[in-house]
Amino acid sequence: MKLKKIASLALAGVMAISMLAACGDTDKKDPASSTETSTATGYSAKLADEMKDLADEDYITFEDNASDEAALKAAVAGAANINASNAHFFSKLLTLKKDNQWPWVQEVVADFNKKADVDDSWGQNKNIFSDSNANKHLNGDYKMSILFAIDGSVSMDKVMEKVADALEKDNDKFTDGLVDEISGIDTKYDCSYVVSVSVVNVENEYDLQKAFSTNFIAVTVTRTSVDA
């Protein structure tokens, strides 16, 4: 993949902090912003640190997404059977698939995708945007998701390492799918991508398992393609 240079994420973080500080110095309040994303200062930034080759591309941005986080919170809160017996033993990163045999996994994935306006999920060993349906949605936005779960005692630095490894290795077509242009016989589209990471911690329901919890991680990739 051809690498391109982008502005420093650290500089973007400094600018975001400066803007917040400026807001605190005045009594005048600007109207609430309509955007649902913010500069990568949280888990999206952590994943960017683990995936520097992608983060260095000028057509790929890592940004936190408030709507994704809210959707993930609602999805795990609504799942009926997330409890100590089937959720907190994930010392290894578990990919939550929409066709998983556990009903609660299917429920979480489906509910998140609906609430986060996700077009589809992608699985292992599959180019993220190879689905024919995705290619029908060129010249616009198309949003994909993948969800994970892991024991809440695992540090988030280690979790982001595991997520990056899963995306780069187990889902080995992830990087290949993020191309800067798509060309056909008579068409050409310029593409850009926003990668967002959300994390929600769920404590177990049973009294004897109060010390245990599960972290649910949602990674979304929104592709914007424009007729060139």
**Higher per-residue pLDDT: 168 or 223:** 223
Instruction: Summarize pLDDT for 104-118 with one digit per residue, the tens.
Output: 888 899 999 999 999
* Cα–Cα dist 23/125, whole Å: 46
* Cα–Cα dist 182/188, whole Å: 6
Least confident of 39-53, 124-138, 196-210: 124-138
Which residues fall within 8 angstroms of residue 193, CB to CB, at 6 or more apart?
59, 60, 61, 178, 221, 222, 223, 224
What is the pLDDT, as a whole number, of residue 127? 64
* Cα–Cα dist 79/95, whole Å: 16
End-to-end CA distance of the chain: 20
What is the pLDDT, as a whole number, of residue 86? 54
Which residue in this structure is represented by tokens 């009294």? 207
Chain mean pLDDT for the chain: 75
Least confident of 9-23, 85-99, 105-119: 9-23
Residue 120 vs residues 14, 38, 125, 188: alpha-carbon distances, Å: 34, 23, 16, 23
What is the pLDDT, as a whole number, of residue 89? 57
Name the CA dihedral angle for 156, 12, 10, 118, rounded to a multiple of 10 degrees. 30
Instruction: Summarize pLDDT for 124-174 with one digit per residue, the tens.
Output: 546 677 665 667 778 889 999 999 999 888 999 999 999 999 888 766 567
C-beta of residue 152 within 8 angstroms of C-beta of residue 90: no
Q: How many H-runs (helices) and E-runs (strands) does the chain carry? A: 8, 8
pTM of structure: 0.76
C-beta of residue 50 within 8 angstroms of C-beta of residue 184: no
Burial pattern 8-30, b for ≥16 Cβ within 10 A else e, equals ebeebeeeeeeeeeeeeeeeeee
